[in-house]
């Protein structure tokens, strides 16, 4: 086994010169193979005669001291190293290709209760035109599950107030038709019939939401306005939390997953399924808030 580290040196050079990987990748893989070689020495296993069972035992041992992200990097390194050993004729087969990388765990989205949403929106001062705009803006983001960029880019002509419908231009240049609720309709009406005109004056501005100069309200501008609400109410959230809350409240109220997928503009159903993983007890609480007349505590 004395030739292990000589092979490691030539492998390292191969990554840089033949595979043309980055220096960071080469160093990461080199360190991973060193860990593997150290284990082989400890277990008195010749790396030339390794098999899938041995590799699995090694990964089980590694899992006792490192996280899944490191395990995934180790597997990538072993696959690369195995490919190199096959080219040298040391391995007849790249056994590391049979190893499955662990999937990165997706954290559950932050979601607000209906009461918290109400508290946030009620904290907006609507005595001035920008306040009416902010109330209409955040009511709409929550009511229709909009992304911050979708709200910023929403065109006036895409809003059908009487029908409570929006044509939203989303990711991938895709458009979708989404409804909005009565509260959003109420403040949109106030915004479109007076407050907005005070800001745009006699300019022809195509966007629904504008800043104090009468120009398109940017994503940064929306973010700043929401930060003020956070500070004012003490509620920990982001603009995107309104979208997460919209999806969760719909599912809690009985909406099917496909419908929520369409409303959110997700191309893949698996992206929408993250909302079904929120704790069942939390979903029951949302249901009681959203549909109090149907809860068990009548």
The residue from 133, 243, 244, 249 that is catalytic is 243
Distances (CA, A) of 64 to 38, 52, 58, 59, 68: 16, 19, 10, 9, 10
pLDDT of the residue at 297? 43
Which of residues 72, 98, 124 is at a domain's end? 98
State the average pLDDT for the chain: 87
Residue written as token pair 């080219």? 87
Q: Are residues 58 and 154 in the same domain?
A: no
Provide the CATH number for the domain around residue 8. 1.10.150.130
Give 194-228 pLDDT, tens digit per residue: 899 999 998 999 999 999 999 999 999 999 999 99
The residue from 133, 135, 147, 249 that is catalytic is 147
pLDDT of the residue at 101? 74
CA-nearest of 232, 20, 16, 37 to 122 is: 232
Residue written as token pair 């070689």? 37
Highest mean pLDDT among 2-11, 97-106, 186-195: 186-195
Q: Answer yes or no: is 284 within a domain.
A: yes
Whether the Cβ atoms of residue 91 and residue 98 lie closer than 8 Å to each other: no
Q: Answer yes or no: is 109 within a domain.
A: no
Which of residues 45, 72, 98 is at a domain's end? 98
Question: Quick check: is 243 catalytic?
Answer: yes
Q: Are residues 156 and 289 in the same domain?
A: yes
Question: Quick check: is 147 catalytic?
Answer: yes
DSSP code for 210: B
Q: Are residues 34 and 127 in the same domain?
A: no
The residue from 171, 198, 203, 284 that is catalytic is 171
pLDDT of the residue at 106? 61
Whether the Cβ atoms of residue 199 and residue 130 lie closer than 8 Å to each other: yes
* Beta strands, E only, the chain: 159-160, 165-169, 175-179
Q: Are residues 144 and 244 in the same domain?
A: yes
Number of domains the chain is built from: 2
Q: 38-44, long-range: CB within 8 Å, 24+ apart, which pairs?
A: 40/1, 40/4, 41/1, 41/4
The residue from 225, 266, 286, 287 that is catalytic is 266
Q: Answer yes or no: is 107 within a domain.
A: no
Residue written as token pair 């284990």? 39
Provide the CATH number for the domain around residue 281. 1.10.443.10
Question: Quick check: is 101 catalytic?
Answer: no
CA distance 87 to 267: 41
Highest mean pLDDT among 10-14, 26-30, 137-141: 137-141
Interval 272-293 mean pLDDT: 60
Look at 279 and 13; give whichever has higher pLDDT.
13
Residue 289 has pLDDT above 50, yes or no: yes
Question: Quick check: is 275 catalytic?
Answer: yes
pLDDT of the residue at 72? 87
Query: What is the spatial order of strands in the sheet that 175-179 belongs to?
Result: 159-160, 165-169, 175-179
| Residue 177 backbone dihedrals phi, psi, to 5 degrees | -100, 120
Whether the Cβ atoms of residue 140 and residue 151 lie closer than 8 Å to each other: yes
Residue 66 has pLDDT above 90, yes or no: no
The residue from 47, 95, 142, 275 that is catalytic is 275
List 179's β-bridge partners, or say none.
165
CA distance 184 to 245: 15
Q: Are residues 121 and 58 in the same domain?
A: no
Decide: helix, strand or coil at residue 216: strand
Q: How far is CA 116 from the centre of its chain?
A: 22
Question: Quick check: is 133 catalytic?
Answer: no
Distances (CA, A) of 202 to 97, 195, 197, 265, 272: 66, 13, 8, 35, 42
Angle between helices 129-144 and 114-122 (to 10 degrees): 160
Show Cβ contacts of residue 155 under 8 Å, excluding neighbours closer than 6 positions.
169, 206, 207, 208
Q: Which domain holds residue 25?
A: 4-98
CA-nearest of 251, 291, 296 to 274 is: 251
Q: Are residues 49 and 192 in the same domain?
A: no
Whether the Cβ atoms of residue 30 and residue 38 lie closer than 8 Å to each other: no
Give 156-178 pLDDT, tens digit per residue: 999 999 999 999 998 878 899 99
| Residue 168 backbone dihedrals phi, psi, to 5 degrees | -105, 130
Using pLDDT thresholds of 50, 70 and 90, give the confidence band for residue 255.
confident
pTM summary value: 0.61
Q: Answer yes or no: is 265 within a domain.
A: yes
Question: Quick check: is 84 catalytic?
Answer: no
């Amino acid at each position: 086994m004395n030739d292990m580290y000589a092979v490691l040196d030539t492998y390292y050079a191969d990554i840089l010169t033949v595979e043309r990987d980055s220096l960071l990748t080469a160093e990461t893989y080199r360190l991973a193979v060193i860990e593997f070689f150290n284990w082989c020495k400890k277990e008195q296993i010749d790396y030339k005669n390794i098999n899938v069972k041995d590799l699995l035992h090694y990964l089980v041992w590694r899992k006792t001291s490192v996280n899944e992200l490191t395990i995934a990097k180790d597997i990538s390194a072993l696959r690369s190293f195995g490919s190199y050993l096959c080219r040298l004729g040391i391995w007849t087969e790249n056994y590391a290709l049979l190893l499955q990388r662990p999937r990165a765990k997706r954290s559950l989205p932050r979601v607000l209760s209906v009461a918290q949403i109400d508290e946030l929106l009620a904290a907006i001062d609507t005595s001035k035109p920008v306040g009416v705009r902010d109330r209409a803006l955040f009511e709409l983001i929550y009511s229709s599950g909009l992304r911050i960029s979708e709200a910023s880019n929403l065109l006036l002509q895409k809003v059908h107030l009487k029908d409570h419908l929006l044509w939203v231009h989303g990711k991938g240049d895709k458009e979708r038709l989404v409804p909005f609720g009565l509260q959003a309709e109420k403040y949109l009406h106030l915004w479109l019939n007076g407050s907005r005109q005070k800001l745009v004056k006699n300019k022809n501005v195509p966007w629904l939401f504008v800043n104090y100069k009468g120009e398109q309200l940017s994503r940064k501008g929306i973010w700043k306005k929401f930060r003020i609400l956070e500070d004012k109410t003490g509620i920990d959230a982001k603009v995107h939390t309104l979208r997460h809350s919209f999806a969760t409240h719909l599912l809690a109220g009985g909406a099917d997953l496909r419908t929520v997928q369409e409303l959110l503009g997700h191309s893949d159903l698996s992206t929408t399924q993250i909302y079904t993983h929120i704790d069942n007890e939390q979903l029951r609480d949302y249901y009681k808030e959203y549909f109090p007349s149907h809860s068990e505590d009548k």
